[in-house]
């Protein structure tokens, strides 16, 4: 059987599974819809959180980015896992004890203010929409490459599937499909990695294979070999990297804090029964995530070495079939600058003839390593699982922000339970349609902004939530000013240094690098914006009245685990 | 301050102390070993890995997982000590 048949079979089976689960776990109340009834087991929640968290970016793009960035790629590995330590220790247990439905719920109640709630809704919507558009695009890429349908048809198929289980099942449907999606995606990621690790180093554990000697009898360590190949072609050493230390530091911290502040991750901890379960499921989530995250750098090393060996200085006419397949998608291009019929893959931009998109390394990896057709098809099904599970989690945040935080809490407080459930379903439908629109017509900035969503979460939510728990006397004036100043500063820095808005547009961006504040890139600036948020919030807090007595009591109450209420219906 | 409040304050103090210790380790393995002292540590090797590079791409992640489970254990014990367990 060929790759395409296998892909149809595997994608067909996994999709029917997701739809089956969705029908089985329909939501019948708003509590089901927002927090899956509040009785999810720690393990199921850990798996769902892991699938929710690992998006098309983790599954498809990350290994590729690391393959080309080497040591510098560590910012994603540490940043996107270290955030769970912050989440587990500083936020999740207390938010669970607080026991509401959404992040704006916490901000609105803790800071006793509708303004605070609306600011939080606004931040949650910006962060989630930019993120979800990228997921729909990922679905389109997988469909177009492996099933050879048009990229837009792919996006629409993805939309229909997500619509089905997110609208029908809400958080309950999403949780149990995510459990299945975790199994699919982790299996799909590990199988090719293990195959290739055995092929290249003889060690079946990719995490160890990465640090082993090559299988070719030379006794050379794989990493030394790759360092040698890299310097030969004019790149810096793979294990060294070229970013400034302060920037690596800032990006890592911004990603960690952003991870802890992302609303679609935080809400997952509202679905477990007890505070104790929230802590445990954060640990399980990170353990399950770490399986992929410690394998990804190994995949990066394997695929980069394989790629260089296959293409460097080889005749174009002898390239294997995968090379031509990816050329057709435009994600891999070859221009024979010196007309010798061979591929020159070099650091020198004037002489380099091969451009490889980051996104194809994981998808092409099994083909480059000549693995069987079913493994290649499995990777396609895994990529879809990763993109769909994250998209569904984000759509839920968007719909609950609208139906619960805006309609129920601000505009129509008298709406009935049934009415609110319908409002949630309708807003989920709208959100899917808008996300699909951005998937079909990606604005040029989507890819750039996805990474920046973390900076925005770091600059807005993290300080407000942390101070809300650990600083009893924090008042609404401080928290609101902090969030507004933090996110505005972040947006300003992105517009200035990522888009060159104030200096004549995109072309100016390269030239502006020299004037980055403290040498920190827009990706890492979330760290600075977060610090500013903290300083502003505390300064304003000192100049304005203390929060009311009953709010200080709420803070004392959430610090103690016993008697975690079921999320109350209101 | 009532006994009730005294107990809550003592519990919170112990909790915060744990957080400081665990987050210090969190900082040391990632920002310390993986970034600030990476070059110095890269002078040493474990198998094919330079040590600083290993912490940045492998070691820090393992430690993160362990830290959360240690936290879970410590807190479960603390909850029991103060009678706050559910």
Q: How many helices (H) and strands (E) does chain B have?
A: 4, 2
Question: How far apart are the C-alpha atoms of A342 and A335, rounded to whole Å?
Answer: 10
User: Is A274 in Cβ contact with B48 (below 8 Å)?
Assistant: no
pLDDT at A450: 67
pLDDT at A570: 41
Task: Give the closest residue to A457 by CA, choosing from A21, A170, A1, A53.
Answer: A53
Q: Please tell me whether residue A564 adopts helix, strand or coil conformation.
A: coil
Residue B24, chain A, CB below 8 Å: the answer is: no
User: Is A252 in Cβ contact with B30 (below 8 Å)?
Assistant: yes
* Residues whose CB falls within 8 Å of the CB of residue A364, separated by 6 or more in sequence, listed in order: A303, A322, A326
Q: How far is B45 from chain A (nearest CA, A)?
A: 10
Radius of gyration of chain B, Cα coordinates, nearest whole angstrom: 18
Q: Please tell me whether residue A512 adopts helix, strand or coil conformation.
A: helix
Question: How far apart are the C-alpha atoms of A22 and A19, rounded to whole Å?
Answer: 5
Question: How far apart are the C-alpha atoms of A555 and A471, rounded to whole Å?
Answer: 9
Q: Taking 50 as the threshold, does the pLDDT of residue B78 lie above it?
A: yes
Characterize the bridge pairing of strands A354-356 and B49-50: unpaired
pLDDT at A202: 92
How do residues A179-209 score in pLDDT, each as one tens digit? 999 999 999 999 999 999 999 999 999 999 9
On chain A, the residues whose CB falls within 8 A of the CB of B26 are: 82, 85
Query: Are B34 and A78 within 8 A, CB to CB?
Result: yes
**Residue with the two structure tokens 């092929």:** A199
pLDDT at A568: 47
* Residues in chain A with pLDDT values less than 70: 442-451, 563-570
Q: Which residues of chain B from 45 to 84 reach within 8 Å of chain A, CB to CB?
A: 46-50, 53-54, 56-58, 60-62, 64-65, 67-69, 71-72, 75-76, 79, 83-84
- Which of B15, B31, B61 faces A81 most closely, judged by CB atoms? B61
Question: How far apart are the C-alpha atoms of A319 and A310, rounded to whole Å?
Answer: 8
Query: Are A124 and A487 within 8 A, CB to CB?
Result: no
On chain B, the residues whose CB falls within 8 A of the CB of A224 are: 48
- Which of A74, A239, A287 faces B34 most closely, judged by CB atoms? A74
Residue B27, chain A, CB below 8 Å: the answer is: no
User: Is A84 in Cβ contact with B68 (below 8 Å)?
Assistant: yes
How do residues B28-50 score in pLDDT, each as one tens digit? 999 999 999 999 999 999 989 99
Question: How far apart are the C-alpha atoms of A439 and A133, rounded to whole Å?
Answer: 5
Q: Which DSSP helix (H) or strand (E) runs through A356?
A: strand A354-356
pLDDT at A441: 76
Q: Which of A69, A73, A78 to mutate to test the interface with B (most CBs of B within 10 A)?
A: A78
Q: How many helices (H) and strands (E) does chain A have?
A: 24, 2
Q: How far is B7 from chain A (nearest CA, A)?
A: 10
Query: Are A533 and A483 within 8 A, CB to CB?
Result: yes
Q: Which domains does chain A have, with CATH numbers?
A: 3-309+371-451 (1.20.1730.10)
List C-alpha distances in Å: A73 to A76, A157, A320, A356.
6, 33, 28, 17
pLDDT band at B10, cuts 50/70/90?
A: very high
Residue B10, chain A, CB below 8 Å: the answer is: no
pLDDT at A444: 56
Q: Which DSSP helix (H) or strand (E) runs through B49?
A: strand B49-50
User: Is A211 in Cβ contact with B46 (below 8 Å)?
Assistant: yes
pLDDT at A564: 47
Neighbouring CB atoms inside 10 A of A345's CB total 22
Q: How far is CA A468 from the centre of its chain?
A: 25
The average confidence (pLDDT) of chain A is 88
pLDDT at A445: 56
A6-15 burial, b for 16+ CB within 10 Å, e for fewer? bbeebbeebb
The domain segmentation of chain B, as residue ranges, is 13-81
Q: What is the dihedral of CA A249, A255, A259, A262, to 10 degrees?
A: 130
Characterize the bridge pairing of strands B45-46 and B49-50: antiparallel
The ipTM, to two decimals, is 0.96
Report DSSP state, residue A506.
Answer: G
Find residue A272's DSSP bridge partners.
A40
Query: Are A528 and A250 within 8 A, CB to CB?
Result: yes
User: Is A282 in Cβ contact with B58 (below 8 Å)?
Assistant: no
Q: Please tell me whether residue A355 adopts helix, strand or coil conformation.
A: strand
Task: Give the closest residue to A53 by CA, choosing from A181, A162, A145.
Answer: A181
pLDDT at A532: 97
Q: What are phi and psi of A344, to 5 degrees?
A: -100, 115
pLDDT at B63: 98
User: Is A78 in Cβ contact with B60 (below 8 Å)?
Assistant: yes
Question: How far apart are the C-alpha atoms of A80 and A85, rounded to whole Å?
Answer: 10
Question: How far apart are the C-alpha atoms of A358 and A73, rounded to whole Å?
Answer: 12
- Which of B30, B50, B72 faces A283 most closely, judged by CB atoms? B72
HSE-CB for A515 with a 13 A CA cutoff: 11
- Which of B34, B50, B71 faces A78 most closely, judged by CB atoms? B34
On the 0-12 / 13-18 / 19+ scale of CB atoms within 10 A, A563 is exposed
């Amino acid at each position: 059987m060929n790759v395409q048949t296998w892909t149809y079979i595997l994608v067909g089976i996994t999709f029917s599974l997701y739809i089956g689960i969705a029908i089985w776990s329909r939501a019948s109340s708003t509590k089901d819809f927002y927090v899956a009834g509040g009785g999810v087991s720690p393990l199921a929640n850990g798996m769902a959180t892991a699938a929710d968290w690992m998006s098309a970016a983790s599954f498809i793009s990350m290994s590729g980015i690391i393959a080309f960035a080497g040591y510098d790629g560590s910012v994603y590995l540490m940043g996107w896992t270290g955030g769970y330590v912050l989440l587990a220790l500083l936020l999740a247990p207390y938010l669970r004890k607080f026991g509401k439905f959404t992040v704006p719920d916490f901000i609105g109640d803790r800071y006793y203010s509708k303004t605070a709630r609306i600011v939080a809704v606004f931040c949650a919507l910006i962060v989630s929409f930019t993120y979800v558009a990228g997921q729909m695009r990922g679905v389109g890429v997988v469909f177009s490459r492996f099933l050879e349908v048009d990229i837009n048809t792919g996006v629409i198929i993805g939309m229909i599937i997500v619509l089905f289980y997110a609208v029908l099942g809400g958080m309950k449907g999403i949780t149990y499909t995510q459990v299945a999606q975790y199994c699919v995606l982790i299996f799909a990621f590990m199988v090719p990695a293990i195959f290739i690790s055995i092929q290249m180093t003889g060690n079946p554990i990719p995490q160890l294979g990465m640090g082993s000697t090559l299988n070719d009898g030379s006794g050379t360590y794989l990493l030394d070999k790759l360092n040698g190949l890299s310097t030969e072609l004019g790149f810096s050493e793979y294990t060294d990297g070229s970013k400034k230390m302060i920037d690596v530091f800032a990006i890592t911290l911004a990603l960690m804090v952003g991870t802890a502040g992302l609303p679609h991750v935080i809400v997952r901890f509202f679905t477990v029964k007890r505070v104790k379960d929230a802590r445990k499921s954060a640990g399980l989530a990170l353990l399950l995530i770490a399986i992929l995250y410690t394998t990804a750098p190994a995949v990066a090393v394997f695929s980069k070495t394989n790629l260089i060996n296959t293409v460097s200085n080889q005749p174009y006419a002898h390239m294997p079939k995968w090379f031509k397949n990816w050329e057709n998608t435009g994600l891999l291009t070859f221009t024979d600058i010196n007309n010798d019929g061979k591929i020159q893959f070099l650091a020198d931009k004037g002489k380099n003839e091969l451009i490889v998109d980051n996104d194809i390394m994981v998808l092409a990896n099994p083909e480059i390593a000549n693995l069987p057709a079913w493994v290649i098809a499995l990777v396609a099904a895994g990529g879809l699982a990763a993109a769909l599970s994250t998209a569904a989690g984000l759509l839920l945040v968007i719909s609950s922000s609208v139906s619960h935080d805006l309609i129920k809490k601000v505009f129509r407080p008298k709406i009935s339970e049934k009415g609110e459930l319908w409002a949630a379903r309708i807003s989920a439908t709208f959100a899917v349609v808008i996300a699909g629109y951005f998937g079909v017509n990606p604005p040029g900035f989507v890819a750039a902004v996805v990474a920046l969503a973390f900076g925005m979460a770091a600059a807005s939510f993290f300080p407000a939530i942390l101070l809300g728990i650990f600083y009893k006397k924090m008042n609404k004036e401080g928290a609101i000013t902090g969030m507004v100043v933090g996110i505005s500063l972040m947006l300003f820095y992105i517009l200035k240094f990522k888009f060159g808005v104030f200096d004549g547009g995109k072309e100016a961006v390269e030239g502006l690098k020299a004037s980055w504040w403290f040498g920190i890139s827009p990706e890492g600036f979330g760290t600075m914006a977060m610090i500013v948020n903290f300083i502003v919030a505390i300064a304003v807090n000192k100049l304005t009245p203390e929060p009311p007595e009953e709010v200080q009591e709420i803070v004392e109450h959430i610090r103690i685990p016993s008697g975690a209420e079921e999320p109350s219906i209101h | 301050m009532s006994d009730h409040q005294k107990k809550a304050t003592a519990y919170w103090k112990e909790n915060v102390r744990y957080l400081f210790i665990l987050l210090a380790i969190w900082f040391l393995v990632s920002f310390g070993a993986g970034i600030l002292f990476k070059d110095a540590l890269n002078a040493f090797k474990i198998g094919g890995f330079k040590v600083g590079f290993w912490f940045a791409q492998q070691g820090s992640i393992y430690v993160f997982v362990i830290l959360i489970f240690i936290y879970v254990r410590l807190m479960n014990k603390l909850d029991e000590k103060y009678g706050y367990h559910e």
